[in-house]
Structure 1
Amino acid sequence: MRVSELMTTPAITVLGETPVSAALRLLDRNQVTALPVVDRRGRLVGSVSEADLIPDALLVYHHRAPSYPMRLSAGLLPRRVAELMSTVVPSVRSDEDLDAAIDLLRSAMVKSLPVVDADRVVGVISRSDVIHFLAGRDARIRNDILDRLRARDLDWRVEVDDGIVQVHGTIGEHERHRAEAIAASVSGVVAVHAA
Protein backbone atom coordinates (compact mmCIF):
# COMPACT_ATOMS: atom_id res chain seq x y z
CA MET A 1 0.00 0.00 0.00
CA ARG A 2 1.21 3.49 -0.87
CA VAL A 3 1.15 6.62 1.32
CA SER A 4 -1.19 8.25 -1.22
CA GLU A 5 -3.90 5.69 -0.40
CA LEU A 6 -3.99 6.65 3.27
CA MET A 7 -2.87 10.29 3.51
CA THR A 8 -5.20 13.16 4.31
CA THR A 9 -5.42 15.65 1.50
CA PRO A 10 -5.37 18.54 1.06
CA ALA A 11 -2.99 19.28 3.91
CA ILE A 12 -3.91 22.04 6.31
CA THR A 13 -0.85 24.28 6.21
CA VAL A 14 0.27 27.62 7.59
CA LEU A 15 2.80 30.22 6.53
CA GLY A 16 5.69 31.30 8.73
CA GLU A 17 4.01 34.68 9.23
CA THR A 18 0.78 33.10 10.51
CA PRO A 19 0.04 34.33 14.04
CA VAL A 20 0.44 31.71 16.76
CA SER A 21 -3.18 32.28 17.84
CA ALA A 22 -4.40 31.38 14.33
CA ALA A 23 -2.28 28.21 14.33
CA LEU A 24 -3.77 27.22 17.71
CA ARG A 25 -7.28 27.67 16.32
CA LEU A 26 -6.44 25.58 13.22
CA LEU A 27 -5.08 22.73 15.35
CA ASP A 28 -8.19 22.82 17.53
CA ARG A 29 -10.77 23.17 14.76
CA ASN A 30 -9.26 20.42 12.58
CA GLN A 31 -8.32 18.10 15.45
CA VAL A 32 -4.76 17.67 14.22
CA THR A 33 -1.54 17.69 16.22
CA ALA A 34 0.78 19.47 13.78
CA LEU A 35 0.68 21.76 10.76
CA PRO A 36 3.21 21.82 7.93
CA VAL A 37 4.65 25.31 7.48
CA VAL A 38 5.03 26.26 3.83
CA ASP A 39 6.34 29.22 1.87
CA ARG A 40 4.15 31.14 -0.59
CA ARG A 41 4.85 28.50 -3.28
CA GLY A 42 3.66 25.63 -1.07
CA ARG A 43 7.15 24.28 -0.35
CA LEU A 44 7.80 22.76 3.06
CA VAL A 45 9.90 24.99 5.33
CA GLY A 46 8.98 23.61 8.75
CA SER A 47 6.34 22.20 11.03
CA VAL A 48 4.54 23.61 14.04
CA SER A 49 3.01 21.21 16.54
CA GLU A 50 1.10 21.21 19.79
CA ALA A 51 4.43 20.64 21.54
CA ASP A 52 5.82 23.82 19.93
CA LEU A 53 2.79 25.98 20.72
CA ILE A 54 1.67 24.90 24.19
CA PRO A 55 4.67 26.26 26.16
CA ASP A 56 4.43 29.62 24.39
CA ALA A 57 0.64 29.83 24.86
CA LEU A 58 0.92 28.90 28.54
CA LEU A 59 3.61 31.53 29.07
CA VAL A 60 1.23 34.20 27.78
CA TYR A 61 -1.71 32.69 29.70
CA HIS A 62 0.09 32.68 33.08
CA HIS A 63 1.21 36.30 32.90
CA ARG A 64 -1.28 38.49 34.67
CA ALA A 65 -2.99 41.00 32.48
CA PRO A 66 -3.23 44.55 33.85
CA SER A 67 -6.66 45.78 34.90
CA TYR A 68 -6.34 48.76 32.56
CA PRO A 69 -5.49 49.03 28.85
CA MET A 70 -1.81 49.39 28.11
CA ARG A 71 -0.27 51.35 25.27
CA LEU A 72 2.07 49.07 23.39
CA SER A 73 5.13 50.21 21.54
CA ALA A 74 4.68 50.48 17.78
CA GLY A 75 7.09 47.60 17.08
CA LEU A 76 5.36 44.94 19.20
CA LEU A 77 3.56 42.34 17.06
CA PRO A 78 1.85 39.05 17.93
CA ARG A 79 4.10 35.98 17.88
CA ARG A 80 4.40 34.21 14.52
CA VAL A 81 4.65 30.52 13.66
CA ALA A 82 8.18 31.04 12.24
CA GLU A 83 9.41 31.90 15.74
CA LEU A 84 8.31 28.55 17.19
CA MET A 85 8.33 26.03 14.32
CA SER A 86 10.72 23.15 13.87
CA THR A 87 12.80 23.51 10.73
CA VAL A 88 14.07 19.94 10.53
CA VAL A 89 10.98 18.07 9.38
CA PRO A 90 10.87 14.45 8.25
CA SER A 91 8.56 13.93 5.28
CA VAL A 92 7.51 11.23 2.82
CA ARG A 93 6.47 11.12 -0.82
CA SER A 94 2.98 10.02 -1.84
CA ASP A 95 4.37 7.11 -3.88
CA GLU A 96 6.36 5.67 -0.96
CA ASP A 97 5.34 2.41 0.64
CA LEU A 98 3.19 2.77 3.76
CA ASP A 99 5.69 0.68 5.73
CA ALA A 100 8.37 3.35 5.15
CA ALA A 101 6.03 6.04 6.50
CA ILE A 102 5.20 3.93 9.56
CA ASP A 103 8.90 3.34 10.24
CA LEU A 104 9.58 7.07 9.95
CA LEU A 105 6.65 7.95 12.25
CA ARG A 106 8.13 5.60 14.85
CA SER A 107 11.80 6.48 14.48
CA ALA A 108 11.28 10.26 14.30
CA MET A 109 8.81 10.07 17.20
CA VAL A 110 6.36 12.41 15.48
CA LYS A 111 2.58 12.13 15.26
CA SER A 112 2.32 13.13 11.60
CA LEU A 113 4.41 13.54 8.47
CA PRO A 114 3.97 16.00 5.62
CA VAL A 115 3.62 14.29 2.24
CA VAL A 116 5.71 16.15 -0.33
CA ASP A 117 5.69 15.71 -4.11
CA ALA A 118 7.63 17.93 -6.52
CA ASP A 119 8.68 20.15 -3.59
CA ARG A 120 5.04 20.88 -2.64
CA VAL A 121 3.08 19.68 0.39
CA VAL A 122 0.23 17.55 -1.01
CA GLY A 123 -1.02 15.86 2.15
CA VAL A 124 -0.31 14.59 5.63
CA ILE A 125 -0.15 11.07 7.02
CA SER A 126 -0.57 10.62 10.74
CA ARG A 127 -0.39 7.87 13.32
CA SER A 128 -4.17 8.17 13.70
CA ASP A 129 -4.56 7.51 9.93
CA VAL A 130 -2.52 4.32 10.36
CA ILE A 131 -4.50 3.26 13.45
CA HIS A 132 -7.79 3.82 11.62
CA PHE A 133 -6.55 1.69 8.73
CA LEU A 134 -5.30 -1.10 10.99
CA ALA A 135 -8.51 -1.15 13.04
CA GLY A 136 -10.49 -2.06 9.91
CA ARG A 137 -7.95 -4.53 8.56
CA ASP A 138 -9.74 -7.76 9.55
CA ALA A 139 -13.04 -6.66 8.01
CA ARG A 140 -11.26 -5.73 4.74
CA ILE A 141 -9.45 -9.09 4.65
CA ARG A 142 -12.69 -11.02 5.33
CA ASN A 143 -14.62 -9.14 2.62
CA ASP A 144 -11.81 -9.64 0.10
CA ILE A 145 -11.67 -13.40 0.77
CA LEU A 146 -15.47 -13.72 0.57
CA ASP A 147 -15.46 -11.89 -2.78
CA ARG A 148 -12.83 -14.27 -4.13
CA LEU A 149 -14.73 -17.31 -2.86
CA ARG A 150 -18.04 -16.11 -4.35
CA ALA A 151 -16.32 -15.51 -7.69
CA ARG A 152 -15.53 -19.23 -7.67
CA ASP A 153 -19.05 -20.23 -6.49
CA LEU A 154 -17.66 -21.40 -3.14
CA ASP A 155 -19.90 -21.03 -0.10
CA TRP A 156 -17.54 -21.17 2.85
CA ARG A 157 -17.70 -19.21 6.11
CA VAL A 158 -14.74 -16.94 6.84
CA GLU A 159 -13.59 -15.48 10.14
CA VAL A 160 -10.57 -13.21 10.55
CA ASP A 161 -8.90 -12.22 13.81
CA ASP A 162 -5.69 -10.19 13.75
CA GLY A 163 -4.90 -11.35 10.21
CA ILE A 164 -5.42 -15.03 11.03
CA VAL A 165 -8.08 -16.55 8.77
CA GLN A 166 -10.42 -19.43 9.62
CA VAL A 167 -12.29 -20.94 6.65
CA HIS A 168 -15.17 -23.29 7.55
CA GLY A 169 -17.46 -25.45 5.45
CA THR A 170 -17.67 -28.80 3.73
CA ILE A 171 -14.02 -28.98 2.89
CA GLY A 172 -12.16 -32.08 1.78
CA GLU A 173 -8.37 -32.28 1.39
CA HIS A 174 -8.39 -30.75 -2.12
CA GLU A 175 -10.82 -27.99 -1.08
CA ARG A 176 -8.78 -27.27 2.04
CA HIS A 177 -5.68 -26.55 -0.08
CA ARG A 178 -7.80 -24.46 -2.43
CA ALA A 179 -9.29 -22.43 0.45
CA GLU A 180 -5.85 -21.87 1.95
CA ALA A 181 -4.46 -20.73 -1.41
CA ILE A 182 -7.34 -18.33 -2.03
CA ALA A 183 -7.16 -16.82 1.46
CA ALA A 184 -3.36 -16.61 1.44
CA SER A 185 -3.48 -14.56 -1.77
CA VAL A 186 -5.14 -11.68 0.10
CA SER A 187 -2.88 -8.91 1.35
CA GLY A 188 -2.60 -8.76 5.14
CA VAL A 189 -3.27 -12.43 5.80
CA VAL A 190 -0.87 -13.80 8.42
CA ALA A 191 -2.04 -17.44 8.55
CA VAL A 192 -4.87 -19.59 7.18
CA HIS A 193 -6.66 -22.51 8.82
CA ALA A 194 -9.26 -24.39 6.81
CA ALA A 195 -11.55 -26.96 8.42
Structure 2
Amino acid sequence: MRARDILSRPVVTVRRDTALTDAVALLTGHGFAALPVVDERERVVGILSESDAMAAIESGREAGIVEVAMSTPVSVVEPTTEVPEMVKVMLDHHRRSVPVVEAGVLVGIVARRDLLRALARDEQALEARVYSLLEDYSGSHRQWDVEVVDSNVTIRGICADEAEQRVLAAITRTIPGVGEVRVVDTAAIPSDQ
Protein backbone atom coordinates (compact mmCIF):
# COMPACT_ATOMS: atom_id res chain seq x y z
CA MET A 1 0.00 0.00 0.00
CA ARG A 2 1.25 3.45 -0.90
CA ALA A 3 0.73 7.01 0.28
CA ARG A 4 -1.66 7.72 -2.61
CA ASP A 5 -3.95 4.93 -1.34
CA ILE A 6 -4.42 6.40 2.14
CA LEU A 7 -3.66 10.13 1.99
CA SER A 8 -6.23 12.71 3.00
CA ARG A 9 -7.13 15.67 0.84
CA PRO A 10 -7.81 18.46 0.48
CA VAL A 11 -5.20 19.49 3.03
CA VAL A 12 -5.78 22.44 5.34
CA THR A 13 -2.63 24.56 5.11
CA VAL A 14 -1.28 27.84 6.39
CA ARG A 15 1.23 30.33 5.04
CA ARG A 16 4.34 31.65 6.76
CA ASP A 17 2.61 34.97 7.44
CA THR A 18 -0.57 33.42 8.90
CA ALA A 19 -1.23 34.68 12.42
CA LEU A 20 -0.19 32.01 14.91
CA THR A 21 -3.48 32.41 16.77
CA ASP A 22 -5.38 31.60 13.55
CA ALA A 23 -3.20 28.53 12.95
CA VAL A 24 -3.75 27.34 16.53
CA ALA A 25 -7.51 27.74 16.01
CA LEU A 26 -7.26 25.50 12.93
CA LEU A 27 -5.21 22.90 14.81
CA THR A 28 -7.55 22.74 17.78
CA GLY A 29 -10.80 23.28 15.92
CA HIS A 30 -10.26 20.41 13.52
CA GLY A 31 -8.15 18.09 15.68
CA PHE A 32 -5.19 18.15 13.32
CA ALA A 33 -1.80 16.92 14.50
CA ALA A 34 0.00 19.42 12.26
CA LEU A 35 -0.53 21.89 9.46
CA PRO A 36 1.72 22.03 6.42
CA VAL A 37 3.07 25.52 5.77
CA VAL A 38 3.08 26.25 2.03
CA ASP A 39 4.31 29.03 -0.22
CA GLU A 40 2.35 30.69 -3.04
CA ARG A 41 3.11 27.72 -5.36
CA GLU A 42 1.77 25.17 -2.79
CA ARG A 43 5.27 23.90 -2.03
CA VAL A 44 5.81 22.75 1.54
CA VAL A 45 8.21 25.12 3.33
CA GLY A 46 7.56 24.07 6.92
CA ILE A 47 5.18 22.32 9.27
CA LEU A 48 3.39 23.62 12.34
CA SER A 49 2.75 20.84 14.82
CA GLU A 50 0.85 20.98 18.08
CA SER A 51 4.23 20.87 19.86
CA ASP A 52 5.50 23.83 17.82
CA ALA A 53 2.38 25.84 18.68
CA MET A 54 2.60 24.95 22.38
CA ALA A 55 6.27 25.97 22.52
CA ALA A 56 5.49 29.30 20.86
CA ILE A 57 2.63 30.04 23.24
CA GLU A 58 4.65 28.98 26.28
CA SER A 59 7.49 31.30 25.28
CA GLY A 60 5.14 34.25 24.72
CA ARG A 61 5.33 34.27 20.90
CA GLU A 62 1.62 33.51 20.32
CA ALA A 63 1.06 37.01 18.93
CA GLY A 64 3.50 36.25 16.11
CA ILE A 65 3.15 34.53 12.78
CA VAL A 66 3.49 30.88 11.82
CA GLU A 67 7.02 31.39 10.49
CA VAL A 68 8.39 32.01 14.01
CA ALA A 69 7.01 28.69 15.30
CA MET A 70 7.09 26.27 12.36
CA SER A 71 9.60 23.44 12.02
CA THR A 72 11.97 23.20 9.07
CA PRO A 73 13.18 21.33 7.14
CA VAL A 74 10.14 19.16 6.54
CA SER A 75 10.22 15.43 5.90
CA VAL A 76 7.83 14.63 3.06
CA VAL A 77 6.87 11.53 1.10
CA GLU A 78 5.73 10.99 -2.47
CA PRO A 79 2.46 9.37 -3.58
CA THR A 80 4.37 6.17 -4.42
CA THR A 81 6.01 5.87 -0.98
CA GLU A 82 5.21 2.51 0.63
CA VAL A 83 3.68 2.24 4.13
CA PRO A 84 6.86 0.92 5.85
CA GLU A 85 8.86 3.93 4.63
CA MET A 86 6.15 6.34 5.84
CA VAL A 87 6.19 4.66 9.25
CA LYS A 88 9.97 5.07 9.38
CA VAL A 89 9.78 8.76 8.43
CA MET A 90 7.19 9.47 11.12
CA LEU A 91 9.01 7.58 13.83
CA ASP A 92 12.49 8.86 12.94
CA HIS A 93 11.30 12.48 12.87
CA HIS A 94 8.78 12.20 15.74
CA ARG A 95 5.87 13.32 13.53
CA ARG A 96 2.21 12.42 13.79
CA SER A 97 1.64 13.25 10.13
CA VAL A 98 3.67 13.68 6.96
CA PRO A 99 2.89 15.80 3.87
CA VAL A 100 2.65 14.02 0.51
CA VAL A 101 4.17 15.94 -2.40
CA GLU A 102 4.32 15.31 -6.10
CA ALA A 103 6.85 17.27 -8.17
CA GLY A 104 7.36 19.40 -5.06
CA VAL A 105 3.68 20.38 -4.75
CA LEU A 106 1.52 19.35 -1.78
CA VAL A 107 -1.10 16.78 -2.85
CA GLY A 108 -2.17 15.29 0.50
CA ILE A 109 -1.22 14.33 4.02
CA VAL A 110 -0.93 11.01 5.85
CA ALA A 111 -1.48 10.85 9.61
CA ARG A 112 -0.42 8.05 11.95
CA ARG A 113 -4.06 7.02 12.36
CA ASP A 114 -4.28 6.63 8.53
CA LEU A 115 -1.28 4.29 8.64
CA LEU A 116 -2.71 2.30 11.55
CA ARG A 117 -6.05 1.93 9.78
CA ALA A 118 -4.30 0.87 6.58
CA LEU A 119 -2.10 -1.66 8.36
CA ALA A 120 -5.04 -3.18 10.25
CA ARG A 121 -7.27 -3.18 7.19
CA ASP A 122 -4.52 -4.65 5.03
CA GLU A 123 -3.95 -7.62 7.30
CA GLN A 124 -7.65 -8.20 7.91
CA ALA A 125 -8.39 -7.96 4.19
CA LEU A 126 -5.58 -10.38 3.33
CA GLU A 127 -6.73 -12.79 6.02
CA ALA A 128 -10.33 -12.68 4.73
CA ARG A 129 -9.16 -13.23 1.15
CA VAL A 130 -7.01 -16.21 2.17
CA TYR A 131 -9.93 -17.74 4.11
CA SER A 132 -12.17 -17.24 1.09
CA LEU A 133 -9.76 -19.01 -1.27
CA LEU A 134 -9.21 -21.84 1.21
CA GLU A 135 -12.96 -22.27 1.66
CA ASP A 136 -13.44 -22.37 -2.13
CA TYR A 137 -10.70 -24.99 -2.33
CA SER A 138 -12.02 -27.14 0.53
CA GLY A 139 -15.73 -26.84 -0.22
CA SER A 140 -16.51 -24.51 2.69
CA HIS A 141 -15.14 -26.91 5.30
CA ARG A 142 -12.96 -24.57 7.35
CA GLN A 143 -10.10 -26.74 8.43
CA TRP A 144 -7.26 -24.25 8.56
CA ASP A 145 -6.38 -21.26 10.69
CA VAL A 146 -4.84 -18.25 8.99
CA GLU A 147 -2.53 -15.68 10.51
CA VAL A 148 -1.27 -12.61 8.63
CA VAL A 149 1.63 -10.58 10.01
CA ASP A 150 3.32 -7.90 7.89
CA SER A 151 1.74 -9.41 4.75
CA ASN A 152 3.28 -12.82 5.51
CA VAL A 153 0.74 -15.63 5.77
CA THR A 154 0.86 -18.70 7.98
CA ILE A 155 -1.74 -21.42 7.38
CA ARG A 156 -2.14 -24.04 10.13
CA GLY A 157 -4.24 -27.15 9.95
CA ILE A 158 -4.38 -30.74 8.82
CA CYS A 159 -3.23 -31.39 5.27
CA ALA A 160 -3.69 -34.59 3.25
CA ASP A 161 -0.03 -34.59 2.18
CA GLU A 162 2.85 -32.38 1.07
CA ALA A 163 1.20 -31.86 -2.31
CA GLU A 164 -1.81 -30.28 -0.61
CA GLN A 165 0.53 -28.04 1.40
CA ARG A 166 2.07 -26.85 -1.88
CA VAL A 167 -1.39 -26.24 -3.37
CA LEU A 168 -2.46 -24.17 -0.33
CA ALA A 169 0.72 -22.11 -0.57
CA ALA A 170 0.35 -21.64 -4.33
CA ILE A 171 -3.26 -20.44 -4.23
CA THR A 172 -2.42 -18.10 -1.36
CA ARG A 173 0.44 -16.56 -3.35
CA THR A 174 -2.04 -15.56 -6.07
CA ILE A 175 -3.45 -12.88 -3.74
CA PRO A 176 -1.96 -9.43 -4.40
CA GLY A 177 -0.05 -8.13 -1.39
CA VAL A 178 0.85 -11.52 0.07
CA GLY A 179 4.50 -11.88 1.08
CA GLU A 180 5.87 -15.18 2.30
CA VAL A 181 3.53 -18.14 2.74
CA ARG A 182 4.10 -20.88 5.30
CA VAL A 183 1.87 -23.95 5.62
CA VAL A 184 2.08 -25.85 8.91
CA ASP A 185 0.53 -29.32 8.96
CA THR A 186 -0.63 -29.61 12.58
CA ALA A 187 -1.12 -33.38 12.20
CA ALA A 188 2.61 -33.72 11.57
CA ILE A 189 3.53 -31.91 14.82
CA PRO A 190 4.19 -34.29 17.74
CA SER A 191 1.62 -33.82 20.52
CA ASP A 192 4.30 -33.09 23.16
CA GLN A 193 5.31 -29.83 21.44
* TMscore range, shorter length: 0.7 to 0.9
> Which residue of 154, 162, 166 corresponds with 2:155?
166
**1:122 aligned onto 2:107:** yes
Secondary structure of the residue aligned to 2:182 is: strand
The code of the aligned residue for 1:123 comes to: G
Q: 1:40 to 1:151 in 2, by over 3 A?
A: farther
Residue 20 of structure 1 and its aligned partner are, at CA, apart by 1.3
> Residue 166 of structure 1 aligns to which amino acid in structure 2?
I
* Structure 2 match to 1:192: 182
Structure 1 unaligned regions, length at least 5: 62-76
Matched, 1:144 2:132: no
Matched with 1:175 is 164
Assess, with a 3 A threshold, how the Cα gap between structure 1 residues 32 and 154 changes in structure 2: closer, same or farther: farther
| CA RMSD, 1 decimal | 2.7
Deviations 1:120-139 (A, max 9, x none): 11111222222222233431
Counterpart position of 1:70:
none
Q: Give the share of equivalent positions with the same residue, in percent.
A: 25
2:189 alignment counterpart: none
Instruction: Report how far residue 81 of structure 1 moved.
Output: 0.7
Q: Quick check: 1:156–1:168 contact (8 Å CA) kept in 2? A: no
CA contact (8 A) 1:141 1:160 kept: no
RCO higher in structure (CA 8 A, sep ≥6)? 1
Matched pairs, number: 179
8 Å CA contact 2:146–2:155 kept in 1: the answer is yes
- Code of the residue aligned with 2:104 in structure 1: it is D
State the structure with more CA Rg.
1
**1:71: which partner in 2?**
none
Contact conserved, 2:53 with 2:69, CA < 8 A, in 1? yes
1:156 Cα deviation (Å)? 4.9
- Residue in structure 2 matched with residue 73 of structure 1 by the alignment: none
Report if the CA contact (8 A) 1:168-1:194 is conserved: yes
TM-score after normalising by structure 2: 0.77
Contact kept in structure 1, 2:145 and 2:156, CA below 8 Å: yes
